[in-house]
Amino acid sequence: MSEPNANMASRRSYRPTSEPRVLSPSSADIPFVDAVPDDLQCGICFSAAIDPVVTEDCGHLFCRECILTALERKKECPIDRLPLTVTDIRKDVRTLRRIHSLTVYCVNKKQNCTWSGAYSDLDRHVERCEFATVKCPFSVHGCDVVVSRKTLPEHMATGTNSHLMLLCAVTARLLDENTALQQELDILQRDDMRFIWVITNFEAKRGPVYSRKFSGRGTMWYLGVDFEGPEQHAGVYLFAEGHQKRVDFKLILFNQDPTKDKVHIVNDWAADYKGKGWGPLKFINRSNLGNSGFIVNGCVRIGVEIETDPFE
């Protein structure tokens, strides 16, 4: 067989779904054994027309991706400049069959794979090609080794110790996360008279965010956080739901260390009134949350204690 020629299509990447995952080249070129016939070439990329389509009126052949990209820029045939829209092209099944019958080398030929066969069989071959480049199955845990499928068993055998170290690190992290979650549970169980609001992905939040409604002292309330506070602060407010009563209440910003919880008591509604809610304008300092212990697993926990019966 002759060496592959310059007619190389760049329209597919091969990535089997089973582990280990095959690494696809940036432009997974399809190496045809022989020159692609002119009547099977795309009029734009001049390679084999992958997923071929033909224009209804002028009969020009293109890769679907090529012509759709061209039509986004200008509604005309790139060859004869006649008006053309998406509705004027159709799939070319006959050309597709001919292209599928062309002989190709494996995309891993440069890695010494000697396979060649029909283009229609290339996907199935690449899924099991022993010369395909794959990531180590432990890549999700930090192993950055990239090998061929053929040499993967050797890597797995010689890398046992390093893989065990990675698993130990993962186990330690999971234990830390479990400890943090247990601390959250401890906080929730400190006092069943409190309402606890856990705000996930806190540092990415913008604008006003509101909790679910909850009952306190026989009336309904909800909390809100305004992320547009001054000087990178966030205000926290208590809102009445369906009534106009007031209560004295305490806000708690929970820390990973309970001795560092931040507390604000509201018993002067005039001083703490902020529109429709009551609470401190600068309760949360967003500028130093990262290492302050107030964020656990990306979450901030805010509690409220209703301390008096509702009054007018």
Q: Give the pLDDT of residue 173.
A: 75
Closest CA to 11 of 33, 37, 44: 44
Of 175-179, 180-184, 200-204, the least confident: 180-184
Q: Give the pLDDT of residue 15.
A: 34
Residue at 181 is within a domain: no
Report the distance separating Cα 157 and Cα 140, nearest Å.
Answer: 18
Q: Looking at the structure, do residues 54 and 120 belong to the same domain, yes or no?
A: yes
Count of the separate structural domains present in the chain: 2
Judge whether residue 227 has pLDDT over 60: yes
What's the rounded mean pLDDT across residues 36-54?
91
Report the distance separating Cα 10 and Cα 48, nearest Å.
Answer: 9
DSSP β-bridge partners for residue 105:
116
Judge whether residue 193 has pLDDT over 90: no
Q: Give the pLDDT of residue 146.
A: 87
Q: Looking at the structure, do residues 148 and 203 belong to the same domain, yes or no?
A: no
Radius of gyration of the chain (CA): 32
Q: Looking at the structure, do residues 25 and 113 belong to the same domain, yes or no?
A: yes
Identify whether the C-beta of residue 235 lies closer than 8 Å to the C-beta of residue 264.
no
Q: Give the pLDDT of residue 271.
A: 66
Identify whether the C-beta of residue 23 lies closer than 8 Å to the C-beta of residue 149.
no
Q: Give the pLDDT of residue 177.
A: 67
Identify whether the C-beta of residue 202 lies closer than 8 Å to the C-beta of residue 298.
yes
In the chain, beta strands by DSSP E = 8-9, 30-31, 52-55, 61-63, 89-91, 103-105, 116-118, 133-135, 146-148, 195-199, 208-210, 214-216, 219-226, 233-240, 249-253, 262-266, 273-274, 277-278, 284-285, 300-306
Q: Give the pLDDT of residue 7.
A: 40
Closest CA to 106 of 39, 22, 19: 22
Residue-averaged pLDDT of the chain: 82
Q: Give the pLDDT of residue 179.
A: 64
Residue at 126 is within a domain: yes
Residue at 16 is within a domain: yes
Domain assignment of residue 44, given as a range: 8-153
What's the rounded mean pLDDT across residues 67-73?
93
Q: Looking at the structure, do residues 143 and 262 belong to the same domain, yes or no?
A: no
Q: Which residue, 134, 153, 172, sits at the end of a domain?
A: 153
Query: What's the sign of the alpha-carbon dihedral 70, 74, 77, 81?
Result: negative
Residue at 176 is within a domain: no
Report the distance separating Cα 43 and Cα 48, nearest Å.
Answer: 10
Residue at 18 is within a domain: yes
Report the CATH number that the domain containing residue 224 is assigned in CATH. Answer: 2.60.210.10
Label residue 240 by pLDDT band (50, 70, 90).
Answer: very high
Label residue 1 by pLDDT band (50, 70, 90).
Answer: very low
Q: Give the pLDDT of residue 241.
A: 93
Judge whether residue 56 has pLDDT over 60: yes
What's the rounded mean pLDDT across residues 4-17?
36
Judge whether residue 3 has pLDDT over 80: no
Q: Give the pLDDT of residue 274.
A: 65
Q: Give the pLDDT of residue 52.
A: 93
Amino acid letter, 288: N
Report the CATH number that the domain containing residue 42 is assigned in CATH. Answer: 3.30.40.10
Q: Give the pLDDT of residue 67.
A: 93
Report the distance separating Cα 163 and Cα 24, nearest Å.
Answer: 24
Q: Which residue, 133, 153, 173, sits at the end of a domain?
A: 153
Q: Which residue, 153, 178, 204, sits at the end of a domain?
A: 153
Of 62-66, 110-114, 189-193, 214-218, the least confident: 189-193
What's the rounded mean pLDDT across residues 66-87?
93
